[in-house]
Amino acid sequence: MQRSTKVEWFLGFLLLSFYITCIFTVCMLTFQKGHVVLGIVGIFFPFLWLIGAILPAKEGSRYEVSQQIAQQRQVEQYTR
């Protein structure tokens, strides 16, 4: 039986930390943009989260609505 070295533990911890960070950032953005299938399949293939985060938001998604509200507020602020 082979024992894990400190380097292997460190790399494993680093990859796990990166995966958890992606769950709370890129995955959530993918779901907010309305790409549910990419978000679910991205659990097994995290590269799909990046694709879902880069694609434009679907019409009526939470992300699009929040962006429209922010743009309306900005226009109102500049037209005062």
Asked whether residue 40 is assigned to any structural domain, the reply reads yes
Are the CB atoms for 33 and 57 separated by under 8 Å?
yes
Gap between the Cα atoms of 52 and 49, Å rounded: 5
Asked whether residue 1 is assigned to any structural domain, the reply reads no
Provide the pLDDT for residue 13: 95
Asked whether residue 15 is assigned to any structural domain, the reply reads yes
Asked whether residue 70 is assigned to any structural domain, the reply reads yes
Task: Quick: pLDDT tens for 28-65.
Answer: 999 999 999 999 999 899 899 999 999 999 999 999 99
If one counts every other C-beta atom within 10 angstroms of the C-beta of residue 75, the result is 9
pTM: 0.76
Asked whether residue 67 is assigned to any structural domain, the reply reads yes
Asked whether residue 50 is assigned to any structural domain, the reply reads yes
Count how many domains the chain has.
1
Task: Quick: pLDDT tens for 58-80.
Answer: 999 999 999 999 999 999 999 87
User: What phi and psi, each to the nearest 5 degrees, are found at residue 46?
Assistant: -55, -20
Q: Which two tokens stand for residue 69?
A: 């509200």
Structural domain span for residue 54: 6-78
Task: Quick: pLDDT tens for 11-26.
Answer: 999 999 999 998 899 9
